[in-house]
Structure 1
Amino acid sequence: MTFNEGMQIDPDRVGSGGPGTGGMIALGGGAGGLILLVLALLFGGDPGSLLGQFTGAQNKPPAAMSNLPSHCKTGADANKYVDCRVALTAQSLDAVWATELPKQTGRNYVKPAVTLFSGSVGTGCGNASSAVGPFYCPADRTAYFDTSFFQELVTKFGASGGPLAQEYVVAHEVGHHIQNLLGDSGRSQRDPRGPQSGSVRTELQADCYAGLWASYADKLPAPGSNQPFLKPLTDKDIQDALSAASAVGDDRIQKAATGRVNPESWTHGAANQRRAWFLAGYQSGQVRACDTFSAADLNNPPSVRN
């Protein structure tokens, strides 16, 4: 999936962050953070101390943000540079959710902040390093990305390097923001691990919301334009997104890290589940199709028609 070249990137939509402290739990850590969590849970460690992030007695806001680099101006730049791609994906997500969230749920959409960082960053949830992967902090309503993760997703975890694989990651983290707006973020912490846990259901729902975005992103006109942000999806685009979703399945990461699979320590769901829920959102375009918390079988999302 590529952007229409003439789309204009808002230079203020994405910032870059610095150090800070906080004390809340973040959602949606990527493959790097998952590996650390898997090892901690399998071998009896404390995940919080092993990760060394999202801790701190204070709850300060993040440091001041700087704007997106000057090379990010149009959709053509988003097709070439990953930082520009994150920014324009965020704008596309804004356009879709600003329309669909009120229409489908009666709730107004409030934009999340989006921050790019390198190495480490301070957040309303605490200090985080790149090892945690992309994540969303409910305390400051911000999605955080170290763009080096996108290459790791390919080289370390075998995901596709296609654009929609990267855009899926952004959409997944904004999916956590939608959960925050709808009051569902806390469900993950009440039941933090296991194959049927609230944590797994939270992550699969964010996958479903990412699929919902994809179902509209190449059709809904961008604000002030008669064109959507993205060119029409192809079958390969969808396979790229599914490849990324599968790559960060708990079972695949556990198998690669330890040689065995332990569902009782799952926090994000199996590869086939992540694929299935992305497709549930993509094929239905409906928030109600993403109700993972009521699903009896997480391997088979219920069919919901438009």
Structure 2
Amino acid sequence: MKWQGGRRGGGIEDRRGMGGGAVAGGGVGVLILAAIGYFVFGIDPSTTQQVASQFGGVGAAEKGVEGTPQDQAGQFVDVVGANINDVWTNKLNGYQPPRVVLYEQGTPTGCGFGQAAMGPFYCPSDRTVYLDLGFWAQMEQQLGASGADFARAYVIAHEFGHHVQTLTGASQEVQRAQQRASGQAEANRYSVALELQADCYAGVWARNAAAVSNGQVALEPGDLEEGMKTANAIGDDTLQRRSGGRVTPEGFTHGSSAQRVEWLRRGYDAGDPAVCDTFGSV
């Protein structure tokens, strides 16, 4: 993926190296596969507070260094995030960018105490994307996802997709629908639709990345396939098999591997968020 030389947005809050508080018992290594099946690429907003309490409650606010990080990984997040914002500024009237926070192990958020074991996540309460960049290595080494730049950009774009859903009201509608749901299986179906839409939005961004950056940020041959490899690796059915359990579709919260690949591809092929109505079959 081409990204070096792309526009930097600045405004990244870098909390890495600040400690972040205690990690829940067992550490990230123990938690990652247990938690990842539910939290890969975004927390369901309706359960955020519940999970935060399990992981230690709300911590005191902390403030990192704002701007463009100096390391390559941080610069990558800044360039990709700026490009995603440029795409959505063109696609969504009144779009306002989310905040982006980089952290290690754990950090206080507007939704409670966030941990790396939860994967990258978006907090709707403070409209912030939280990224522990160590997740990329976990994603590749433990989950069999791609280590390519676009696979990592897909993670970021998916979380920005949750921000778009907050701006459009889709997230809030899902919360209300889940409250009315007759049971957990029905509530989970709404969660799946929300997550697949965020995948589709990631595809929309990828298709439009080059156009808004004069080609400075752009997919190269093979990049889309690496993204779909990652989408396949983090489907609920694949994660359930990896954890040694049986596949239980009623427990899906993010969608099957096939669904995640399909909606990422749909968004990319169309380049238009109008094709991302994943709620029709819920």
- The answer to whether residue 193 in structure 2 is matched with residue 201 in structure 1 is yes
Give the 5 Å matches for 1:67-106.
Answer: 67-68=66-67, 70-72=69-71, 81-102=72-93
Structure 1: tracts of 5 or more residues without a match: 21-29, 39-46, 73-80, 103-107, 222-226, 297-306
Residues 1:211 and 1:67: Cα distance change in structure 2 (over 3 Å) = same
Aligned residues: 256
Distance, in Å, in 1 between the alignment partners of 2:92 and 2:33 is 28
Match of 1:230 among 202, 207, 217: 217
Secondary structure class of the residue paired with 2:241? helix
**Which deviations, in whole Å up to 9, do the C-alpha atoms of 1:15-64 show, x marking residues without a partner?**
337659xxxxxxxxx976333679xxxxxxxx9469824855xxx88422
Distance, in Å, in 2 between the alignment partners of 1:138 and 1:206 is 14
Secondary structure class of the residue paired with 1:219? helix
| Residue type at the aligned position of 2:83 | S
Residues 1:69 and 1:283: Cα distance change in structure 2 (over 3 Å) = closer
**Which deviations, in whole Å up to 9, do the C-alpha atoms of 1:154-205 show, x marking residues without a partner?**
1001011100000000000000000000001134444385487100000000
Structure 2: tracts of 5 or more residues without a match: 22-31, 41-48
Q: Say whether the 8 Å CA contact 1:16–1:68 is kept in structure 2.
A: no
Residues 1:272 and 1:51: Cα distance change in structure 2 (over 3 Å) = farther
Give the aligned partner of residue 153 of structure 2. 167
TM-score, normalised to structure 2, is 0.81
Give the aligned partner of residue 153 of structure 1. 139
Give the percent of matched residue pairs that are identical in Structure 1 and Structure 2: 34
Give the aligned partner of residue 27 of structure 1. none
Aligned-residue CA RMSD in angstroms?
Answer: 2.8
Q: CA deviation at 1:259?
A: 3.4
Distance, in Å, in 1 between the alignment partners of 2:277 and 2:121 is 21
Q: Say whether the 8 Å CA contact 1:210–1:278 is kept in structure 2.
A: yes
Distance, in Å, in 2 between the alignment partners of 1:37 and 1:71 is 29
Distance, in Å, in 2 between the alignment partners of 1:6 and 1:286 is 26
Residues 1:123 and 1:50: Cα distance change in structure 2 (over 3 Å) = closer
- Which structure dedicates a bigger proportion of its chain to helix? 2
Q: CA deviation at 1:286?
A: 1.4
Give the aligned partner of residue 126 of structure 1. 112
Give the 5 Å matches for 1:208-219.
Answer: 208-219=200-211
TM-score, normalised to structure 1, is 0.75
**Which deviations, in whole Å up to 9, do the C-alpha atoms of 1:220-243 show, x marking residues without a partner?**
23xxxxx23413432x10011111
Distance, in Å, in 2 between the alignment partners of 1:101 and 1:36 is 29
Secondary structure class of the residue paired with 1:213? helix
Distance, in Å, in 1 between the alignment partners of 2:224 and 2:65 is 33
Residues 1:248 and 1:188: Cα distance change in structure 2 (over 3 Å) = farther
